[in-house]
């Protein structure tokens, strides 16, 4: 991967249907010989949260800035570092405090949770010593639609309010539309509404990419799709048959749509691949 990663928790209470980290939790539980009781691996991921109590001390002991160089260190690539467990254990905050002992790093944080604003003081101090980027992950500005996809995640307005508070504190932050779900959250109207609200919150950028369906993500996403969006099942079976990605044509068309909206709302283009011909339509689309 083109970055280093820290995840203070294994498992996540938010219960996003498309989450790709469920297999990691299953593997960790099995390796440690831990008992799930009557929970399935799917349920265990959301209910039995593993807490890396020693993570801040390990970071203090082992972090070598010279080894990182200009490579970004990202907190929260697998499970949310500000999920409800963080209110009690404060591991993410302690990790951030440990990073205050260094200088000149590239740091990123990915979260869906407004709890991040609790740590504005530390984040502001970190921003004076490092290049810090906060990615507020949000798949849709529609709270009803989002609840069908993410069982217990914070409401979109709460995430956007957190984004605004981070920006008011002078912290570099933007919105990460992740994942963009074909036929469900990829329509012009929905993406435009999200970008407009992110702009009102003062976002530095808005970026995003299409849903990936690896084995772990399929286990949670496909049952949700059959239950909530049965009319799309056949299209997904064709589009994602035997692969994780929606296909180059779809991804190129989606990239074009995102770039058009970024330009319309005054956001910088991120992840642009010049010289790649773009399709004009999305095959799996809601509008």
Closest CA to 158 of 207, 195, 205, 197: 197
Q: Is residue 280 domain-resident?
A: no
Among the listed residues 203, 213, 230, the one whose alpha carbon sits nearest the alpha carbon of residue 22: 213
Sheet holding 73-75, edge to edge: 4-6, 73-75, 106-111, 131-137, 173-180, 206-210
Which parts of 53-211 are beta strand (E)?
Answer: 73-75, 106-111, 131-137, 173-180, 206-210
Cβ atoms of 171 and 141 within 8 Å: the answer is no
E strand or H helix at 165: helix 156-168
User: Does 86 reside within a domain?
Assistant: yes
**Per-residue model confidence as pLDDT tens for the chain (287 residues):** 789 999 999 999 998 999 998 888 888 888 888 887 877 777 888 999 999 999 999 999 999 999 998 999 999 999 999 999 999 999 999 999 999 999 999 999 999 999 999 999 999 999 999 999 999 999 999 999 999 999 899 999 999 999 999 999 999 999 999 999 999 999 999 999 999 999 999 999 999 999 999 988 998 999 999 999 999 999 999 999 989 999 999 999 999 999 999 999 999 986 433 333 333 334 333 32
Full residue range of the structural domain in which residue 260 is found? 4-265
Q: What contacts 27, CB < 8 A, 6 or more positions away?
A: none
Total number of domains in the chain: 1
Whose CA is closest to 118, among 95, 146, 86? 86
Residue 274 lies in a domain: no
Rounded (10°) angle between helices 91-99 and 120-129? 20
According to DSSP, residue 70 is labeled T
- Does 277 fall in a domain? no
CATH of residue 197: 3.20.20.70
Residue 52, in any domain of the structure: yes
Could you tell me if 191 and 231 are in contact, meaning their C-beta atoms sit under 8 angstroms apart? no
């Amino acid at each position: 991967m083109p970055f280093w990663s820290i995840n203070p928790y294994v498992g996540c209470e938010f219960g996003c249907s498309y989450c790709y980290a469920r297999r990691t939790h299953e593997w960790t539980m099995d390796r440690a010989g831990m008992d799930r009781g009557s929970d399935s691996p799917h349920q265990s991921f959301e209910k039995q949260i593993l807490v890396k109590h020693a993570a801040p001390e390990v970071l203090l002991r082992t972090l070598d800035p010279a080894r990182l160089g200009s490579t970004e260190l990202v907190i929260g690539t697998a499970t949310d570092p500000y999920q409800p467990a963080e209110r009690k254990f404060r591991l993410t905050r302690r990790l951030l405090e440990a990073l205050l002992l260094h200088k000149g790093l590239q740091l990123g944080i990915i979260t869906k949770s407004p709890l991040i604003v609790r740590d504005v003081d530390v984040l502001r101090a970190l921003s004076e010593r490092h290049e810090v980027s906060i990615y507020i992950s949000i798949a849709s500005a529609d709270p009803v639609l989002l609840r069908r996809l993410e069982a217990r995640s914070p409401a979109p307005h709460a995430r956007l309010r957190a984004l605004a508070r981070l920006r008011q504190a002078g912290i570099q932050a933007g919105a990460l539309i992740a994942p963009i779900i074909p036929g469900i959250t990829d329509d012009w109207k929905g993406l435009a509404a999200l970008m407009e609200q992110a702009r009102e919150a003062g976002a530095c950028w808005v970026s995003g990419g299409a849903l990936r369906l690896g084995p772990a993500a399929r286990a949670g996403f496909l049952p949700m799709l059959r239950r909530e969006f049965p009319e799309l099942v056949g299209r997904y079976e064709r589009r994602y048959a035997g692969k994780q990605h929606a296909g180059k044509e779809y991804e190129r068309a989606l990239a074009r749509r995102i770039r058009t909206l970024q330009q319309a709302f005054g956001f910088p283009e991120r992840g642009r691949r010049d010289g790649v011909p773009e399709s004009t339509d999305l095959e799996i689309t809601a509008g």
